[in-house]
Amino acid sequence: MKENPQYRGFEIGDVIGQAEIMMRLHPKKKEAISRLNEAIQFLTSSGAMETIFNKYR
């Protein structure tokens, strides 16, 4: 919406359901899971995640 004017007429609809953020990693990268979880937790609790989402809405 922000970058493409043709989408600005669209309205964001009501939330029907919510899901946690999920990512898939290659099994060889399993040692990164705890660091990724910590980063997601920090971004969510600090409000940065909402800022990132709003950038693309």
User: Which is more confidently placed, 4 or 19?
Assistant: 4
Alpha-carbon span 23 to 46, nearest angstrom: 20
The Cα–Cα gap between 38 and 35 comes to 5
pLDDT of 24 > 70? The answer is yes
* Nearest Cα to Cα of residue 43 among 23, 21, 25: 21
What is the pTM assigned to this prediction? 0.53
Q: Where are the domains of the chain?
A: 1-8+24-57
